[in-house]
Amino acid sequence: MLANVKDIFVHPKAICESDQIGDRTRIWAFSHILEGAKIGEDCNICDGVFIENDVTVGDRVTIKSGVQLWDGIRVEDDVFIGPNATFTNDHFPRSRVWQQTLPVTHILSGASIGANATLLPGVTIGKGAMIGAGAVVTRDVPANAIFYGNPGKIHGYVGSDNGSPSRLGLEKSTNIDLDSELTGGARLIKLNRMSDSRGNLTVVDFKDELPFVPHRFFTVSEVPSQSVRGEHAHRICEQVLIILNGSVTVIIDDGKVRMQVLLSDPRIALFIPPLVWGIQFEFSSDAILGVFASHGYDAEDYIHSYDEFQAFMLDFGVKSKIEKTM
């Protein structure tokens, strides 16, 4: 039972059996916190929430009504969990069949789970991700992704300035300002195309048009529409992306500003310098993405974790605006 803590509110019709509740946290009526649960400070546990034993909840977390947190759920700081959002911890539940080890579900800091969303066991919701209302989450969601539908897909990425999604769309028919500097030194490269009745010729002159000497070229194709590629930064390697067919959405993020670029015109390539976090998603069914890289493959060159990327950028003396606002 809770004891010796001054600034905690537990509604008289709630049941709080844990004594690991942080300061200023409020627990409302008909909620039930089992003995082993650990809840951080400044949380708001609304009416009718149920929290099992093997659960940890960070600071400043909001949990709306009708939510249950089962054994194996890990909720980091600043998370929002909407009403009737539903968690699970058994891939193939059968009555009175218990698992020996539970899958662990992680809701990383700053993420939001929309109302009535359903999360399958063991998924990880990345930092700052936004799960839409009614979504069914069957797989991990990367940091800052906007994700909804049944089954859920990524539909965008959270922008940086005000927490709302922003999108820099480059439609084929639009006049594109090729001179604008993009996030982290990225920029668009207009390729030469000669068109006549015999078709189109699109040219990449390496010396004149690429900002580096490429040492590798690869293509990405036949990507299922719900899949996401990239999700890493390079320490040294530079890249130029050309959409050879179809379209793809590219996220570029230097730890301070995040932008979305829709590549759908083979004449417009995208240069991505090192130390820019890159994600590609929303591949059209016929998409073929070509990539020039300045270096051969080197596993050491990859930063695969967004956290590590942010840390790395801070070491570079870069003060992350994203981290502040979230």
Hey, which residues between 217 and 276 contact a second copy (CB under 8 A)?
217-224, 227-229, 242, 244-245, 266
106 labelled catalytic:
no
- Residue type (1 letter), 309: F
Angle at 167 (CA atoms; ends 116, 110), nearest 5 degrees = 45
Asked whether position 72 contacts a second copy by CB under 8 A, the answer is no
Beta carbon nearer to a second copy, 269 or 303: 269
Beta carbon nearer to a second copy, 95 or 175: 95
The binding track of 27-66 with respect to a second copy, each residue x by CB under 8 A or -, is -xxx-x---------x-x-xxx-x---------xxx-xxx
In the complex, the smallest distance separating the C-beta of residue 207 from a second copy, rounded to whole angstroms, is 5
Determine the Cα–Cα distance for residues 171 and 325; give it in Å rounded to an integer: 30
Beta carbon nearer to a second copy, 232 or 312: 232
Q: Which of residues 100-159 bind a second copy (CB under 8 A)?
A: 110, 112, 114-116, 118-120, 130, 133-134, 136, 149-151
Q: SS3 of 242, please?
A: strand
Confirm if 300 and 84 have CB atoms less than 8 A apart: no
User: Within a 10 A sphere around the Cβ of 29, how many other Cβ atoms?
Assistant: 13
Bridge partners, residue 280, by sequence: 229, 250
Confirm if 286 and 248 have CB atoms less than 8 A apart: no
Beta carbon nearer to a second copy, 286 or 308: 286
Confirm if 47 and 30 have CB atoms less than 8 A apart: yes
> What tokens were used for 297?
């493959």
**Nearest CA among 297, 286, 285 for reference residue 217:** 297
Q: Which stretch binds a second copy (CB under 8 A): 19-27, 212-220, 251-259, 301-309?
A: 212-220
Q: Is the peptide bond before 103 cis (omega within 30 degrees of 0)?
A: no
Angle at 177 (CA atoms; ends 172, 181), nearest 5 degrees = 120
The HSE-up count of residue 198 (CA atoms within 13 Å, CB side) is 3
- Please identify which residue in 177, 179, 181, 208 interacts with a second copy, judged by CB under 8 A: 208
Active-site choice (91, 232, 295, 304) = 232
In the complex, the smallest distance separating the C-beta of residue 223 from a second copy, rounded to whole angstroms, is 3
Asked whether position 169 contacts a second copy by CB under 8 A, the answer is no
Phi, psi for residue 183 in degrees, rounded to 5: -45, 130
Beta carbon nearer to a second copy, 4 or 285: 285
Asked whether position 285 contacts a second copy by CB under 8 A, the answer is no
In the complex, the smallest distance separating the C-beta of residue 177 from a second copy, rounded to whole angstroms, is 21
In the complex, the smallest distance separating the C-beta of residue 316 from a second copy, rounded to whole angstroms, is 27
Asked whether position 22 contacts a second copy by CB under 8 A, the answer is no
In the complex, the smallest distance separating the C-beta of residue 301 from a second copy, rounded to whole angstroms, is 13
Report residue 182 CA to chain centroid gap: 20
Determine the Cα–Cα distance for residues 310 and 276; give it in Å rounded to an integer: 10
The HSE-up count of residue 134 (CA atoms within 13 Å, CB side) is 2
Beta carbon nearer to a second copy, 50 or 312: 50
- Please identify which residue in 163, 168, 189, 284 interacts with a second copy, judged by CB under 8 A: 163
Beta carbon nearer to a second copy, 178 or 200: 200
Asked whether position 9 contacts a second copy by CB under 8 A, the answer is no
Confirm if 164 and 325 have CB atoms less than 8 A apart: no
Q: Which stretch binds a second copy (CB under 8 A): 161-169, 181-189, 253-261, 300-308?
A: 161-169
Asked whether position 300 contacts a second copy by CB under 8 A, the answer is no
Would you please indicate which residues are annotated as catalytic (active-site) residues?
232
